């Protein structure tokens, strides 16, 4: 467990919550299984999405206790993945030039690589911050 980390901001969680019916905030806070469920059920038909409005501080606190803070920003990494993931910009930011180029020419390896990164981006950033 990482103590006193500032890795995952509450503000970013709420910004991604706006897209929460697609599970973006749950992926951000390191909850890929529930993020996937939210994606396919539109936030449990909106009920889970509204409930998360109140659970957000708990999700943020749990994520801060799990992931290593450092020079590589979780917030910027998630923004780049969310809006430019198919172009591999988030991978370029993480210093993964070969896969960034691959993502650029294959549309995030036809979307499958982007989905993989939604599941693993927190670990990738934590590793980069080690």
State whether 127 and 80 are in the same domain: yes
Number of H helices and E strands in the chain, helices first, is 8, 0
> What are the pLDDT digits (tens) for 97-123?
999 999 999 999 999 999 999 999 999
- Do 62 and 3 share a structural domain? yes
Last residue of a domain, one of 19, 40, 69: 69
Residues contacting 100, CB < 8 A, separation 6+: 88, 89, 91, 92
Q: Are 16 and 24 in contact (CB under 8 A)?
A: yes
Please give the average per-residue pLDDT across 9-35, as a whole number: 90
Do residue 6 and residue 47 come from a single domain?
yes
| Structural domain span for residue 111 | 71-130
Residues 59, 85 within the same domain: no
Are residues 4 and 58 both part of a single domain? Answer: yes
Confidence of residue 1 (pLDDT cuts 50, 70, 90): low
Length of the chain: 130
Domain count, the chain: 2
pLDDT of residue 54 exceeding 70:
yes
Q: What's the pLDDT at 14? A: 94
């Amino acid at each position: 467990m990482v103590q006193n980390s500032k890795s995952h901001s509450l503000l970013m969680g709420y910004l991604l919550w706006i897209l929460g019916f697609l599970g973006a905030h749950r992926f951000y806070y390191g909850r890929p299984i529930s993020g996937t469920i939210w994606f396919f059920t539109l936030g449990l038909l909106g009920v889970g999405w509204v409930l998360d409005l109140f659970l957000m501080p708990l999700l943020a606190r749990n994520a801060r206790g799990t992931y290593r803070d450092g020079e590589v920003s979780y917030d910027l990494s998630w923004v780049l993945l969310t809006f430019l993931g198919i172009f591999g910009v988030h991978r370029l930011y993480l210093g993964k030039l070969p896969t960034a180029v691959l993502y650029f020419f294959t549309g995030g390896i036809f979307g499958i690589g982007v989905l993989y990164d939604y599941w693993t981006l927190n670990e990738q950033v934590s590793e980069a911050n080690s």
